Chains A and B, each alone.
Chain A
Amino acid sequence: MSIQEIQEEIIDEFSMFDDWMQRYEYMIELGKSLPLIDPQYKIDENSIKGCQSKVWVHAALTADKLVFTADSDAIITKGIIAILVRVFSGQHPKDIIEADTVFIDEIGLKEHLSPTRANGLVSMIKQLKMYAIAYQTQVSQ
């Protein structure tokens, strides 16, 4: 599936919920499906600044596709990073760099998150895109 198709799928899933509690409960559920980062990569260099909770992300290139694993010590944050990983993981670095993350507004993630959390979200997307930029040069064009 393309990044766009995955985003639409997520928007669909979240449209089933009427209130914030259900949305958060679903996000917490999604966090449980996050492909977890190998403990050896759970180091400061792989942590994302700008979040009140700790977030670690690791990226590896497999057959020209970038595969992300991650973790967080807070479960709502874990849910958010799980959604981002679902959107970006297994995609070509170029597509990740160019992706417009419209789903964040659509599923009410940004408007329902506090400013500091929204900054964390922005930092997370930025970090995933930075990995894509770094790996782009290693990909066959």
Chain B
Amino acid sequence: MQKEIVMFDVHKIREDFPILQREVNGKPLVYFDNAATSQTPQVVIDAIVNYYSTYNANIHRGVHTLSQEATDAYEIARQKVQAHFNAQHAHEIILTAGTTHSINIVASGFTSLLSSGDEIIVSALEHHSNIVPWQMLCERTGAVLKVIPMDEEGTLVLDTYEALLSEKTKLVFVNHVSNALGTINPIETIITQAHAVGAAVLIDGAQSCPHIKPDVQALDADFYVASAHKLCGPTGVGVLYGKEEWLHKLPPYQGGGEMIDQVTFEKTTYAGLPHKFEAGTPNICGGIAFGAALDYMNAIGFESIAAYEHELLTYATQQLLQIEGLKIYGTSAHKTAVISFNIDNIHPYDVGTIVDKLGIAVRTGHHCAQPIMDFYKIPGTIRASFSFYNTKEEIDALVTALQKAKMMLS
């Protein structure tokens, strides 16, 4: 049965976000930097306040009531994350400090599983956080880094990817959605082809998760990572999903409390999953608030979110292209609500500075994806990234502000 897509009232949704009521430089805030971090609804803020006001305690070992309550809430949050990503087991969900932390756990763990001459493949569309850890892994192991190239539209060239794959390939790392351009990568194909040569695949979901609800079992991803703060949750929390068999193969990342079974000075045995990868006191409040954020977004529904954001993307693309000299980078037919652009030869930083004076938050620069900027031979772009709480009126305000900036800067 096909699920009915319920359209929502954006003005009602905006009331859930206290920050959207504020002004910046005397103008109503227009927040178009959602790809960097999303804003926080009141229910998530309440979950944080409620935790510290009523049951703040360390988890997993305390016998007292507060500790039990906090442990229950934290483990319920893990189950919510499991349900959201459709992982088979709750212990396949490692709660981390964020996407970068999750990637580093895997990159570090593979040090002992790779040898000189092995190959690992990344895509040309990666964020620095999904390039640098693998370069470091190559330095440690003597493995070789190969890159799937991109074309002018910002789409990965899959023919080259197929040619790069061989029995030497041990790992493939690709983002689900490019942070700089918004391109949705064909990860289903990428995963299937990698598995055909016996390679494991890590999908960086930092940019996809605000827009797409991933099913890690259907995707057959070996690892899938994301951050709570891009999903209406707090900063400092993220997820590492790993297939049980892979998480057993990887050694622990950090030593400390929580991750042990038995400790003597002669030998320590490690705890089982997921605790093996959760050394020390975790971000308890953050984990619980992450669960609340997932509840909030799932109550709205990702189908509705995707449909509405697509409408915003289409409208914004049309309106922005009315500005003479505006060029959009990343024109794939499959993209999330992100528009990266420049106006004539005006430096993106100049434009960003002027539109900020008009209350509009956009991102300028290389977006931690310098290889993409090098590909287009530009210093950076202006990036407007939309969320389900943005409106067409706000897009109109952006267009007006850009016209003003263009007038001042030309």
Contact = CB atoms under 8 A, between A and B. Distances in A.
B409 A53 contact: no
A114 B24 CA distance: 12
A131 B145 CA distance: 41
Interface stretch (A20-28, A58-66, A83-91): A20-28
A108 B129 CA distance: 36
B166 interface: no
Interface stretch (B54-62, B284-292, B349-357): B349-357
Contact of A52 (B354, B365, B409): B365
Contacts of B353: 24, 76, 113-114, 117
A26 to B, nearest CB: 11
Q: Which of B349, B356, B364, B408 has the most CB of A within 10 A?
A: B349
A101 B231 CA distance: 43
Contacts of B168: none
B408 A74 contact: no
Nearest to A74: B347
A73 interface: yes
A54 interface: yes
Nearest to A72: B347
Given A75-B347, A77-B349, A117-B353, A53 B379 contact: yes
Interface string B355-393: 011000000110000000000000110000000000000
Contact of A24 (B346, B354, B364, B365): B354
A28 B350 CA distance: 10
Given A74-B347, A74-B349, A54 B408 contact: no
Given A52-B364, A53-B349, A75-B409, A114 B379 contact: no
Contacts of A20: 25, 357
A25 B350 CA distance: 12
Interface string A23-48: 01100100000000000000000000
Given A21-B408, A28-B409, A54-B379, A76 B350 contact: yes
Nearest to B354: A24
A58 to B, nearest CB: 21
Band of interface residues on A: 10 to 19
Contacts of B346: 75
Contact of A75 (B350, B356, B365): B350
B408 A28 contact: yes
A112 B365 CA distance: 19
A104 B353 CA distance: 17
A114 B361 CA distance: 11
A77 B347 CA distance: 10
Interface string B38-80: 0000000000000000000000000000000000000000000
A76 B349 contact: yes
B409 to A, nearest CB: 6
Given A24-B354, A73-B379, A114-B356, A53 B408 contact: no
Contacts of B25: 20
B344 to A, nearest CB: 12
B359 to A, nearest CB: 12
B308 to A, nearest CB: 30
Nearest to A51: B349
Nearest to A79: B350
Contacts of B356: 114
A25 B354 CA distance: 11
Nearest to B345: A73
**Most-contacted residue by chain A among B346, B347, B364 (CB, 10 A):** B347
Contacts of B408: 21, 24-25, 28
Contacts of A52: 349, 364-365, 380
A25 B407 CA distance: 10
A104 to B, nearest CB: 16
Interface in A87-141: 112-114, 117
Contacts of B365: 52
A117 B380 CA distance: 16
B325 to A, nearest CB: 15
B347 A53 contact: yes
Interface string A8-25: 000000000000110011
A36 B25 CA distance: 33
Contacts of A75: 346-347, 350, 409
28 contacts: A20-B25, A21-B357, A24-B353, A24-B357, A24-B408, A25-B408, A28-B408, A28-B409, A52-B364, A52-B365, A52-B380, A53-B347, A53-B349, A53-B350, A54-B379, A73-B379, A74-B347, A75-B346, A75-B347, A76-B349, A76-B350, A76-B354, A76-B409, A77-B349, A77-B350, A112-B357, A114-B353, A117-B353
The 6 closest A-B pairs by CB, nearest first: A74-B347, A53-B349, A74-B349, A52-B349, A74-B350, A76-B350
Given A75-B347, A76-B350, 4 more contacts: A52-B364, A53-B347, A75-B350, A76-B349
Interface of A: 20-21, 24-25, 28, 52-54, 73-77, 112-114, 117
